[in-house]
Amino acid sequence: MKRRNFLSKTAQATTYTFFFSQLYACKTKSKFIAPVGQDYNMQMIRNGVGYFTERGGTIGWMASKDGIVVVDTQFPEQSNHLLEEIDKLELGNVDLLVNTHHHGDHTAGNPVFKDRTDMILAHSNSRKNQIASAKKKGTEDDQVYPTDTFRTSITQKVGNESISLNYFGAAHTDGDAIVHFENANVVHMGDLVFNRRFPYIDMGAGANIENWIQVLDKSINTYDDKTIYMWGHAGAGYEVTGGIEDIRAFQNYLEKLLDFGEKSLRSSIPLEKLKESTKVIPGAEEWTGKGIERSLDAVYAELARE
């Protein structure tokens, strides 16, 4: 689902104002005064579930009479922006915070929620990776870790909505949770899909390209054709939401990356030379931008360990 984003900040603010005035009107019937000049974009997807983008991995949220759920936290400044907006609805505290995985652009805002929620849920490997990464970087004081973890799947009720988390195996890391708002039928894929943008493949945290392809199959088979998905990241001009065809397109990127890596290794092309000469992965030319070298590093590392 490709859509060039020609919206200026002013136009985004208008969309945003419209959306929140609708929500706010439902709640209080009072006039909503929209913030102006904000750098973030907050959009409703369906049934009180939406997304927030500013800096870092896309945040998913639910703000409705059922309660408040937040999926991922970007950085503290961004989490504060999100909560400022949600708090205008006067719905109270956050019932559930989920981390899709441990990366800083998805968890660095966790401290903002420390006194706002009793439950931060993530895969057990995500918690383990967050601790290990913070120790390595010396950022332990800046972390707030998950309070609860799961291994295969877990479902949490918030009001009448059920939020189910699935883990289908190593992919972007070894702790990626897929989050399904069941009634809204909206899924947050975390960083399991980079929409038309070169992915980060965190081999140091147990990533696995071959298995990632299978994980995407399992996702497609678990949800249905009405499901609306959100992605952790999208290339410039591409949406952070989409459907099965976008998952298939990213799956194709990973398959073509593996093919290209195998072919290059068979031709004994040194990694450094490959990184210098490769601008796109043959057969997946929609993936552009910065960071192709991270894919090439990862595919050579994965093939070397087989």
Q: Which is nearer to Zn ion, 64 or 126 (CB)?
A: 126
Q: Which is nearer to Zn ion, 81 or 103 (CB)?
A: 103
Q: Which is nearer to Zn ion, 172 or 180 (CB)?
A: 172
Q: What is the DSSP string of the chain?
A: --------HHHHHHHHHHHHHHHHHHHH-SPPPPP-S-S-EEEEEETTEEEEESSSSPEEEEEETTEEEEE---SHHHHHHHHHHHHTT---S-SEEE-SS--HHHHTTGGGGTTT-S-EEEEHHHHHHHHHHHHHHT-GGG----SEEESSEEEEEETTEEEEEE--SSSSSS---EEEETTTTEEE-GGG-EETBPPP--GGGT--HHHHHHHHHHHHHHS-TT-EEE-SEE-TT--SEE-HHHHHHHHHHHHHHHHHHHHHHHTT--HHHHHHH-SS-TT-TT-BSS-HHHHHHHHHHHHHT-
Q: Kindly state the smallest distance separating residue 212's Cβ from Zn ion, in Å.
A: 12
Q: Which is nearer to Zn ion, 174 or 191 (CB)?
A: 191
Q: Kindly state the smallest distance separating residue 294's Cβ from Zn ion, in Å.
A: 11
Q: Kindly state the smallest distance separating residue 178's Cβ from Zn ion, in Å.
A: 13
Q: Which is nearer to Zn ion, 63 or 216 (CB)?
A: 216
Q: Which is nearer to Zn ion, 161 or 191 (CB)?
A: 191
Q: Kindly state the smallest distance separating residue 194's Cβ from Zn ion, in Å.
A: 9
Q: Kindly state the smallest distance separating residue 205's Cβ from Zn ion, in Å.
A: 9
Q: Kindly state the smallest distance separating residue 127's Cβ from Zn ion, in Å.
A: 15
Contact residues: Zn ion, CB under 5 A: 103, 191
